Structure 1
Amino acid sequence: MSGAGSERRQGRNVRGQGERLRGTILAAVGRLLGEWGSAEKLTMRAVAKEAGISAPSIYLHFPDKAALVWAALADEYAELARRLAEAGASGTGGDPRARLRAQAHAYLRYAAEYPGQYRLMFETPQPHVGPARITGHPAGRVSAAFRAAFRACEEAGHRLSVPLPQAAQTLWAGLHGLISLDHSIFGDESTEEMNRSLAEGLADSLVAPEPGPAPAFRSAPAGTPASRRISQLIAAGDEEEPKAAPDA
């Protein structure tokens, strides 16, 4: 009996040690990304040195650099998705278009409050992976939040101007474009009100103001390899897609 108990305790200790090591590794990655502002110089050896461990021990938890970067930023993507879902559920009554606009505002607000994190998440190159793997990117949670909001508009009878996945990608890309212009051109100029207005206009252009019959969309072309990769990315996160707030 005591032997079995000892084995169970040993198993728990091993798991606990593994979790601590994983946390140590991710903390080291976070510090390096924060210091460098990019994943370009990140290597297993650099992470091991920062964490005070051997490089081979990293491979017990992460197979490659992409897995390291994604895991280190996963909480940030999850937090942004949580804020989007929360914005869509609070204080906007039964109008799904108003909830969509609230989500657009929340996205801009996150980027303004955490510009460093936003740049790491969306403006610095990340390790390249194949098309099959891109569906596991944690940014899929953000796309899922937008898709849930557009789906709520459809379910309330509002026509979308383009198919739902394209609407979600268009809004996401438009919001990101506003933020990138701020970071690269406008700098410290106050563009908050302008960006909010542009974001609302973009969201409204994608959803009909009044319920009505759905349009017959033309069949989408097969597209280029790049467009297919985008489609795979925005399809990520379906299993954890946030639920839109019900109509009041």
Structure 2
Amino acid sequence: MASQEIQPEAKRQRNQKGEGSRLREELIQAAMRALDSAPGSQLSLRLVAREAGVAAPSVYPHFVDVRTMMTEIVRECWRQVGEEMGEAAATSPAADALTRLKRQFSAFVDYAMGRPSRYQLLFALHPIGAKEEDEMQGHLRPAYRQVLQSIEAFIAEGGRLPSDDKASSTLLLISLAHGRIALAHLAPRRPGNSAASVKAFVLNAIDRLFASPR
């Protein structure tokens, strides 16, 4: 099994009193390392405990089952995507909204192609329960918010949208990028499915959709 290839880290120092939240964060990071090391592997609390260098019973005060842990992993991955998109836009050499938008999607593609196991969790059908999914809508989808804000700035600059309104234009771009990424993930060795090719496709599509008059 792929999960058996994952080697545990060196045994960690025990937390001091009041440092339980540190172990929780370490477990989340250990789970994501396990996904990165063995894409497609099935996470278990025991596997994550081994990766974190702790005894399996130490996990249960923080995560009662795998679904609870997966909810936190999905939440953290969305945060990472939003943070990297935001940093890319903030360091844009040009001030116009279209350039910032393209830099955001460059970061989006970089995350998806560089960490496919994490990215695929964000769009998986059943990584978490329906209740948890409902709780994570809206404000916990920072990638959507990042794109929406750039499109709002594009409108303020006098730009014309490729769709009827800012919400549908935001969904259009995310759907376009996600669809191209998903095709590349299905056949990563096929010519044209490299990270650079996927990024070029997405950025060229943004140019065509936003830079040309309707």
Aligned 8 A contact 1:175 1:199 in 2: yes
1:25 aligned to which of 17, 24, 27: 27
* Count of residue pairs the alignment pairs up: 194
Residue 108 of structure 1 corresponds to: 109
Shift of 1:106: 2.3
Distance change >3 Å, CA 52–CA 34, structure 1 → 2:
farther
Distance change >3 Å, CA 135–CA 66, structure 1 → 2:
farther
Matching residue's letter, 1:72: I
Structure number with larger C-alpha Rg: 1
Matching residue's letter, 1:98: T
Taking structure 1 as the reference length, what is the TM-score of the superposition? 0.61
Taking structure 2 as the reference length, what is the TM-score of the superposition? 0.69
Residue 128 of structure 2 corresponds to: 127
Shift of 1:92: 4.1
Query: Percent identical across equivalent pairs?
Result: 23
1:203 aligned to which of 201, 206, 211: 206
Residue 78 of structure 2 corresponds to: 77
The 3-state SS of whatever aligns with 2:56 is coil
Residue 176 of structure 1 corresponds to: 178
Q: Deviations over 1:46-72 (max 9, x none)?
A: 6567641327x62x4346544311323
Unaligned runs of 5+ in 2: 1-15
After TM superposition, list the pairs within 5 Å mapping 1:192-231 onto structure 2: 194-204=197-207, 206-207=209-210, 209=212
Shift of 1:175: 0.8
Unaligned runs of 5+ in 1: 1-12, 211-248
Aligned 8 A contact 1:96 1:152 in 2: yes
The 3-state SS of whatever aligns with 1:152 is helix
**What CA distance in whole angstroms lies between the structure 1 residues aligned with 2:94 and 2:79?**
25
**What CA distance in whole angstroms lies between the structure 2 residues aligned with 1:121 and 1:174?**
16
Aligned 8 A contact 2:67 2:128 in 1: yes
Higher relative contact order (CA 8 A, sep 6+): 1
